[in-house]
Amino acid sequence: MRYLRYFYLIVATIILLTFSVAFAEESKEMEKTSGNVSVGLFNRYVFRGYELSSGSIVIQPSVSVSYKGFSISYWGNIDTYERATQSFIPDRPGSKSFNESDLTLSYTLIIDKLSLTGGYIYYGTKYAAETEELFLGIGYDIVTKPTLTVYRDISSYPGTYINLSFSHSIEILKEITFDFGASFGYFKGEDSYWRTYDGNSKEYVGKKYNAFHDGKVQMGLTIPIAKNLTLLPVVQYWFPLSGKAKRIINGNPYNPNGHLDNTFVSGINLNFSF
């Protein structure tokens, strides 16, 4: 199977990074087991620019544990009242649904200010076919913390998604920080699922979707409320990065997954770290 080569590449990279630890100075923090448990409440769920809920509150629990650079994390989405959007067909329209459960396994190597991460993500979605991704990321710990990550779907929706992100925090009061960031994505679909809408045939038989895809800017606060317990209110603004991403032809989205539009997301996270 042609996607096995990507799996072998990731496995080989992670093994190489693991052995590289013997030649790099590990930070004391990576010697300890750490983790966090959080729950978020938001006015909608947006993933890579796609609106996956509308007109309801979503609840998003998560938990993660890390040790010596290895991490395992779980993330879920509960839609309190499912409604269809241009990118979302509900599994239980008009009802509450625990419609997504994701599992991520990863390894991070830190060398001075440079961080390298490789891993695997399983997307357990009820509203679409379950799928899997492999990813590789590189970040540098300077003021804007630039991070470039490449994701490769190896299962239901073969394609490559590239994301460049930036973030920064400023202390505004004792232990309270103002946090802001931005990210920009590029997507390249690589099988017949991603064929775009053709206005002449009125079917999805055009070129495979390939475009500068989504952008996001966000701001929020980190507010300590007890030992290891923080409150994180946040506001996000999502927008299409190109005409292809927002294009509609005869009422049909050019992108088979649905068009992107300008979308605000607001909510709050309660996070406990250990």
Rg (CA), the chain: 20
Residue 254 covered by a domain: yes
CA distance 135 to 46: 20
The pLDDT tens digits for 54-78 are: 999 999 999 999 999 999 999 999 9
Q: Read off the tokens for 247.
A: 């294009």
Q: How many CA atoms lie within 13 A of 155 on its CB side?
A: 12
Angle at 162 between CA 98 and CA 207, to 5 degrees: 90
pLDDT band at 225; cut points 50, 70, 90 = very high
> Is residue 3 pLDDT above 70, yes or no?
no
Q: Read off the tokens for 95.
A: 């009802």
Residue 25 covered by a domain: no
Residue 29 covered by a domain: no
According to the model, what pLDDT value does residue 251 have?
A: 95
Do residues 222 and 249 make contact, with C-beta atoms less than 8 angstroms apart?
no
The answer to pTM > 0.75 is yes
> Is residue 271 pLDDT above 90, yes or no?
yes
pLDDT band at 9; cut points 50, 70, 90 = low
Do residues 273 and 225 make contact, with C-beta atoms less than 8 angstroms apart?
no
List the single range of 3-7, 34-38, 109-113, 136-140 with lowest mean pLDDT.
Answer: 3-7
Residue 124 covered by a domain: yes
Residue 116 covered by a domain: yes
pLDDT band at 32; cut points 50, 70, 90 = confident
> Is residue 178 pLDDT above 60, yes or no?
yes
Report how many domains make up the chain.
1
Other CB atoms closer than 10 Å to residue 59's CB: what's the count?
17
- Give 22 or 242, the one with higher predicted confidence: 242
CA distance 163 to 148: 6
Do residues 55 and 81 make contact, with C-beta atoms less than 8 angstroms apart?
yes
> Is residue 247 pLDDT above 70, yes or no?
yes
List the single range of 11-25, 53-67, 74-88 with lowest mean pLDDT.
Answer: 11-25
How many angstroms separate the Cα of 205 from the Cα of each of 89, 155, 195, 208, 252? 21, 21, 5, 8, 13
CATH number at residue 185: 2.40.160.40
- Give 28 or 258, the one with higher predicted confidence: 258
Residue 149 covered by a domain: yes
Do residues 266 and 220 make contact, with C-beta atoms less than 8 angstroms apart?
no
**Which residue range(s) make up the domain with 187?**
4-20+34-273
Q: What is the DSSP letter of 10?
A: H
Residue 193 covered by a domain: yes
Rounded mean pLDDT, 105-131: 97
Residue 27 covered by a domain: no
Q: Read off the tokens for 72.
A: 């395992």
